[in-house]
Chains A and B, each alone.
Chain A
């Protein structure tokens, strides 16, 4: 019998790591956007910088969403691996019990 592929603990740790990265990204971009918005620079060039910052925030939001999505996939993979491990343990215990009863 082939063991299930994957370490649920490591998968969940990686998922947490990605969520933390996404959180850091969100916090950082929020802070930077606030700083740029607060910058006293009224005029065409100032407007252009703020507009560029908004565009980059959109890029960041996509990266954020991707990281959260990947983290969720890792969590679900961890759950699936755990379920598979559990099922195999149950099957193994059942087989051992049947062998014992047969004796």
Chain B
């Protein structure tokens, strides 16, 4: 059985070391490349210069590779810490990696490494936050993922059947009904931010058996009423969800933000939701820098006890990870 272990903090520390090392190597390479040669016989000078330039080029190439590796590690850790790797995010994350998602009639194709790493990531999350702080539901999901990583063929069967959620849920004790997808959010004390439009919701609909799209649809109509009444917290038909919405788009491209917050988190989140309303307002005016700051602050606020993931759709309607988090500041 595959051994799975990682420590996001350890990876983050190593990432910083690689970046710092790459900077030193780059500087060393530049000093060598640009350093003046003393006077010497012409033939010797040519040989010496060629040697130094060769060594400098080699050192520079190392710096480039280290930066690439550091970037990759940073991306992985950022995703871990964003909690992107939860069970229900597998297919979405697949899209982040460029793996075709489950559009209509199409099953996701997940390579072995991807499956393994999702399990690793999920374990890392549990490890980082302490499994005891998560509810049993997530531990069960984790167990399924771990099993999926250990049995790749079975995992592929799950994913490619296009019925991942059905199978996942049916294998959980006291399974959460698929149509009550949103309940999983409350079980996990998860704050999920979904920033997407109709096409992104279509993708999600496929992933979640259309339940989220349903939620969104319900939420939007209720949101409209609530906003007109000056409210910002919406209890949708499935009570655990609290939705917060803002419409930012132009004609025909209305975009909505949906926040799914656990009931357990409501009291803690009220202030942050005010912040998020301001964030949404800023979003509408395109104040990206301010948005990023708010994302970061929100992440800090949620920090130890909750789980936040965020996606948005690009112009093609593909899901991708939202703006970067400042885990390395």
A residues whose Cβ falls under 8 Å from a Cβ of B:
5-7, 10-11, 13-14, 17-18, 21, 24-25, 28-29, 31-32, 35-36, 38-46, 49, 52-53, 56, 59-60, 62-64, 66-67, 69-70, 73-74, 77, 81
Contacts and interface: CB of A to CB of B under 8 A. Distances in A.
Nearest to A60: B62
A11 B35 CA distance: 13
Contact of B58 (A36, A62, A77): A62
Given A32-B18, A41-B11, A77 B44 contact: yes
A45 B113 contact: yes
Interface residues of B, number: 47
Contacts of A5: 39-42
Contacts of A64: 55
Given A41-B11, A56-B62, A59-B61, A67 B69 contact: no
Contacts of A81: 40
A41 B41 contact: no
B24 A28 contact: yes
B120 interface: yes
Given A5-B42, A40-B7, 18 more contacts: A6-B38, A6-B40, A7-B38, A11-B38, A14-B35, A14-B38, A24-B24, A31-B17, A36-B14, A39-B11, A40-B11, A41-B10, A43-B5, A59-B61, A73-B47, A73-B51, A74-B40, A77-B40
Nearest to A65: B55
A43 B37 contact: no
B76 interface: yes
B14 A35 contact: yes
A52 B52 CA distance: 24
B267 to A, nearest CB: 36
B54 A66 contact: yes
Nearest to A41: B6
Interface string B196-229: 0000000000000000000000000000000000
A26 B61 CA distance: 15
Contacts of B54: 63, 66
Given A56-B66, A77-B44, A42 B5 contact: yes
A70 B48 contact: yes
Contacts of A74: 40, 48
Contacts of B287: none
B5 A40 contact: yes
A83 B59 CA distance: 35
Interface string B41-77: 1101001100110111011011001100100110010
Interface stretch (B25-33, B81-89, B293-301): B25-33
Contacts of A77: 40-41, 44, 48
Given A44-B116, A63-B59, A39 B14 contact: yes
B143 interface: no
A10 B10 contact: no
Contact of B28 (A21, A35, A36, A45): A21
B160 interface: no
A43 B4 contact: yes
A44 B51 contact: no
Contact of A10 (B39, B76, B116): B39
Contacts of A36: 14, 18
Contacts of A59: 58, 61-62
A64 B61 CA distance: 14
5 contacts: A38-B10, A45-B113, A63-B55, A73-B44, A74-B40
Given A32-B17, A52-B65, A52-B69, A43 B38 contact: no
